[in-house]
Amino acid sequence: MSSQAFVNELEKQGVLAVTFGPTSVRFTTHHQVNKQDIEGTIDLVANISAVASK
C-alpha cells in the first residue's frame, strides 16, 4: 500500500497524517490530543496495516 493510500484510509477514520515519501507517513500531535486518542490511532494503524499486508 502506498503512503497516500494509507493516509487516505486514516483520514476516513478521522486521523490526519501526511505522506513523507512513497512508503512513509508522518504523524504529529497537538496539545489537545490525549493518550486515549494516541492509543486509538495506534490500533487503527495496526488494523490498516494488517489489511494491507493480506
Predicted confidence (pLDDT) at residue 48 exceeds the cutoff of 90: yes
Q: Is the pLDDT of residue 47 over 90?
A: yes
C-alpha cell at 46: 495496526
With a cut of 90, say whether residue 2 has pLDDT above it.
yes
pLDDT of amino acid 9: 97
Scored b (16 or more CB within 10 A) or e, 20-30 reads: eeeeeeeeeee
Per residue in 10-39, pLDDT (tens digit) is 999 999 999 999 999 999 999 999 999 999
CB 16 within 8 A of CB 33: no
The pLDDT value given to residue 54: 82
pTM of the full structure: 0.87
Dihedral sign (CA 31, 6, 46, 11): positive
Provide the number of structural domains found in the chain: 1
What domain range includes position 44? 3-52
